[in-house]
Amino acid sequence: MPARLEHPAPLLATLLALAAGLALSGCDRKSEPPPHVRVLVQSVKPGDFSDQAQLTGDIQARVQAQQSFRVGGKIIERSVEVGDRVKADQVLARLDPQEQQSNVDNARAALQAQEAQLRLAEVSFKRQRLLLPKGYTSKSEFDQAQAQLRSSQSAYAAAQAQLANARDMLTYTELRASADGVITARQAETGQVVQATVPIFTLARAGERDAVFDVYESLFDHELAEQPITVSLLDRPAISAQGKVREITPTIDAQSGTVKVKVALQDVPEEMNLGAVVTATVHPKTSQRVVLPWSALFKNQQQPAVWLVDEQNKVSLQPVSDVAYGSGTVLVGQGLQAGQHVVVAGGQLLHPGQIVDIAAPEKAAEPEKSKIAAPSPPPPPPPPPAEAKP
């Protein structure tokens, strides 16, 4: 007799009851509120803040002139080195003068020939002038002698000019300093063949001096350009001079992203010689900012943000802008209002709408240090802030 199968209803009911119990227990766990997180907050107190920028540059002559020959040739002598002080009209270098000397000799010979032609024309004209009243010569012969004299005079004057020009070209084989100053660069050597106008030396003229800095454009505005600036030697800050911005280049350097700022100096000490490294401190326009520690800064997607705590101890992520970075601090220009409370420690575990416990600074110092203390900040530019969890 075949075995009879039992009805599966009791077994199915048991399985359904077990599944319902598990589902209810899971729902109970999900409905449990998240544990409170203890955070440290700071009250927002905006204040006047003036950025301070330390600039580093060097001393340069206000006028730098390229010294070059006015004729081409082979350099046979160089009389100065880089760093030498020179006087106006001092010989700096010489070219081989053979070609120019030949031109002078040729021009002198041509002048002598024209001088002989002029003397002959003068004698002929005097003779015709004496014979014409007596009727021993014709008017046409007299006019011809007069025209020949004028032509010879013009040719003689031209020969004189050519000789003077040849002599000038001979003097151009000597390169002379255009003014008192210091040789700051040399672009040619003895034995080199150079063309006219090719720079041979760079001469920094004596007298007025500038402190030249490469500065990011955002640091300078019209008000700052009108302020006096104190420039000091980098290795000896006690040696300083007062100056004022004289020139800001209108274009930005494509490689460094900076503009060149020239500060005209007054009563420059002797120690501030050409090439000396100097520093200057500038204070851009004062603005209202909130100073917070780096640990307070997070980000919402790609925008900087901070955690705010309301009166019910609920947190919300507040975007901020116009953020500047200092040594261990961030300076927020927009997005915060006075009296708000910003989470400065413990924000790594927060979610929007979460209720938190606010710890007193003296009580939270030790436990929070081991839990959420931020590492020592690296030098600027700062690392990107932590991404806030949704």
3-class DSSP state of 206: coil
- Residue range 337-353, pLDDT digits in tens: 788 888 888 777 787 88
Predicted confidence (pLDDT) at residue 6 exceeds the cutoff of 60: no
pLDDT surpassing 50 at residue 239: yes
Quick one: what percent of the chain has pLDDT higher than 90?
Answer: 39
Q: Which two tokens stand for residue 387?
A: 């991404």
pLDDT tens track for 259-284? 888 999 988 888 888 889 999 887 66
The dihedral region occupied by 83, where left means phi > 0, alpha psi between -120 and 50, and beta the remainder, is left
**3-class secondary-structure state, position 385:** coil
Res. 121 pLDDT band, cuts 50 70 90: very high
Kindly indicate the confidence band of residue 21, based on its pLDDT and cuts at 50, 70 and 90: low
Q: What percent of the chain has pLDDT over 70?
A: 77
More confident residue, 298 or 57: 57
Q: How confident is the model at residue 30 (pLDDT cuts 50, 70, 90)?
A: very low
Tokens, residue 345: 């420690």
Count Cβ atoms within 10 A of the Cβ of residue 311 and give its class: 0-12 exposed, 13-18 middle, 19 or more buried.
exposed
Model confidence pLDDT, tens digit, residues 184-220? 999 999 999 999 999 999 999 988 899 999 887 666 6
Question: Residue 363: which pLDDT band, with cuts at 50, 70 and 90?
Answer: very low
Q: Mean pLDDT across the stretch 7-12? A: 49
Could you please report the per-residue DSSP string of 41-103? EEE---EEE---EEEEEEEEES-EEEEE-SS-EEEEEE---TT-EE-TT-EEEEE--HHHHHH
At 126-143, the pLDDT tens digits run 999 998 888 888 899 999
Q: Are the C-beta atoms of residues 386 and 299 closer than 8 Å to each other? A: yes
- Report residue 131: phi and psi, to 5°: -80, -25
Spatial CA neighbour of 356 closest among 87, 40, 31, 136? 40
The SS3 of residue 256 is coil
Q: Check residue 172 and give its pLDDT.
A: 95
* Unique residue bearing structure tokens 């040399």: 186
Burial class (CB in 10 A: 0-12, 13-18, 19+), 133: exposed
Which among 197, 169, 203, 198 is positioned nearest to 88, based on CA atoms?
A: 203
Closest alpha carbon to 246 in 61, 53, 54, 66:
61
Mean pLDDT rounded to a whole number for the chain: 80
Cβ–Cβ under 8 Å, residues 302 and 276: no
Distance CA 199, CA 202 (A): 7
Cis before residue 379, ω within 30 degrees of 0? Answer: no
Scanning the structure block, which residue is given the tokens 């000799």?
105
Phi, psi of 302 (to 5 degrees): -110, 10
Q: 284 CB contacts (<8 Å, ≥6 apart)?
A: 50, 51, 53, 219, 220, 221, 224
**Residue pLDDT, tens place only, 79-104:** 999 989 999 999 999 999 999 999 99
pTM assigned to the model: 0.55
Could you tell me if 201 and 179 are in contact, meaning their C-beta atoms sit under 8 angstroms apart?
no
Three-state SS at 374: coil
| Residues 161-172: tens digit of each pLDDT | 999 999 999 999
Sequence-distant (≥ 6) Cβ neighbours of residue 382 within 8 angstroms:
294, 325, 330
Closest CA to 39 of 360, 329, 377, 385: 360
User: In the block, which residue shows the tokens 């020179």?
Assistant: 86
Interacting residues of 75 by C-beta distance below 8 A, sequence separation 6+: 93, 94, 95, 188, 189, 190, 191, 192, 193, 194, 200
More confident residue, 144 or 249: 144
